[in-house]
Structure 1
């Protein structure tokens, strides 16, 4: 057996038919731009974003076997390092060139924030070096639905949701998304390559550090072409592409059913009771 040196994304170990069934796609997928767009959209709209393992008292594992068992084989989701690692394995298996990157989630802030978000730079096989690739961001929970071209100033309207990629002042790139008040800088990043081991190290901070926002409350998202659903604590917010927003508050006891109906997440075994108990203890 060849030693795993930590390079690449282990696409050879992926159960590709199971993944394609999970996201609702067929098997004939050549490594083209059309395939990349279809895969990205299918993944975003099929596999939700969630941090519930933290509330359930379990660490979040980002090795391919664990991620596949959770995001593909079960009606669950994950956050960026799970999503991006899985998507990288899929793309690698199909023949795309994939490079991991890490970003600072800013959400309009000016103060520098740590690198806590895993994303991908994707290129077609044999693509000329001077041709731009694509930013694939399947793990943010709020789109984009499709990858964004690595072109300075490129704006992309996707089913009414707006995104813009531009060169930054302090970092190589910034991804912005459109809000009713204009463009907001979502995250910024450089082009230094990140590997699986980097995702593992940053993942530990995100799920275990007391200052991580993901340790304080459930945070779940489902992004669809016509709506963005967010569970923050016990409150669900639904935002539409036109900027309209509706909000609903729930009791802790209602959340397992809300997760199933609004987010396509089914908690199994004693997990529903554990989640409710965690929330009630902090109410």
Structure 2
């Protein structure tokens, strides 16, 4: 008699005995040195800012470093106009912005600041924000870098990479906090635009409050900045690829160069705007923004700006 090798109703396997309660999860992300502050030449960085010594992790130190960084290191996107990559590792940032005395854009600026603050002893969290300046209310991607810094257990917003119109000093995470920083008026509000908690930073200029940027309360990791930076440096419609942007904030004066338009804004409400010839840009970059380009770099930047204006 033959057996049925393929029965119509095979026996179902008996489930294994269920496990007991799972143990508490172990830490998944084990890297602790997120900001690589040990890779930074802190003395050289502080000297670039006009500071010295071994600063303690206090609010006074955070404020002094933040203000000095803004005044000393300009916001700029010249690397993209020069056809060069934008590395975000701390040694590369130190070489470019400290030793070569160049500037950078938000990821470069705030990662350099973060490395310094980490080295000094602060605890940091990375955030990204949606820039609202010049927008029409339609959502933009969250591509601006900023930092939350803990001082005596209290969170402070730090951002040296907005490129004009933003923070002069750190700002406490307090809903409705309005402050004058060296004559520049800012306000931070907790809002609910997308989820349960976002923060809106506004600045007062030209007789009205302007929305600057919106960011969620959930942090990101420094490694995420590399992804966002890649988008900004490679996307065909990225503004960083299609125009020259340079800015610097010194005391009560803000300077901005957008292609050939040089703007000066002061806390007393005065200011002026003038158009430069492409041949003037190298001199203005050096004298106003502290950026020295060699002759070949000047020609390249001038040529790219001409292309932008003719497009």
> TM-score, structure 2 length as denominator?
0.85
Q: Which runs of 4+ in 1 moved over 6 A?
A: none
| Corresponding residue number in structure 1 for 2:138 | 111
Structure 1 segments unaligned to the other structure (5+ residues): none
CA distance in 1, matches of 2:99, 2:108: 14
Q: What pairs up with 1:233-244 in 2 under 5 angstroms?
A: 233-244=259-270
Distance change in 2, residues 1:224/1:27 (3 Å):
same
User: Which residue of 161, 178, 181 corresponds with 1:139?
Assistant: 161
CA displacement at 1:262 relative to structure 2: 1.1
The answer to whether the aligner puts 1:121 opposite 2:148 as a matched pair is yes
Counterpart secondary structure, 2:143: strand
User: Which residue of 47, 52, 64 corresponds with 2:90?
Assistant: 64
- Residue by residue over 1:175-215, the C-alpha shift from the partner in whole angstroms, topping out at 9 and shown as x without a partner, is 11111232111001012222221111100111111111111
The answer to whether the aligner puts 1:246 opposite 2:268 as a matched pair is no
Q: Which one is further off, 244-253 or 91-100?
A: 244-253
Q: What pairs up with 1:48-59 in 2 under 5 angstroms?
A: 48-59=74-85
| Corresponding residue number in structure 2 for 1:16 | 42
| Corresponding residue number in structure 1 for 2:124 | 98
Distance change in 2, residues 1:185/1:253 (3 Å):
same
Q: What pairs up with 1:95-244 in 2 under 5 angstroms?
A: 95-107=121-133, 109=135, 110-124=137-151, 127-128=152-153, 132-142=154-164, 143-170=166-193, 171-244=197-270
CA distance in 2, matches of 1:219, 1:243: 22
User: Which residue of 33, 36, 41 corresponds with 2:67?
Assistant: 41
CA contact (8 A) 1:228 1:239 kept: yes
CA contact (8 A) 1:44 1:141 kept: no
CA contact (8 A) 1:122 1:136 kept: yes
Q: Which one is further off, 209-218 or 96-105?
A: 209-218
CA distance in 2, matches of 1:256, 1:269: 9
Structure 2 segments unaligned to the other structure (5+ residues): 1-29
Larger Rg, first or second structure (1 or 2)? 2
> TM-score, structure 1 length as denominator?
0.93
Higher relative contact order, chain-length normalized (CA < 8 Å, sep 6+):
1
The answer to whether the aligner puts 1:82 opposite 2:105 as a matched pair is no
Q: Which one is further off, 113-122 or 62-71?
A: 62-71
How many pairs align?
Answer: 275
CA distance in 2, matches of 1:62, 1:38: 24
Q: What pairs up with 1:25-36 in 2 under 5 angstroms?
A: 25-36=51-62
Q: Which one is further off, 37-46 or 238-247?
A: 238-247
Counterpart secondary structure, 1:263: coil
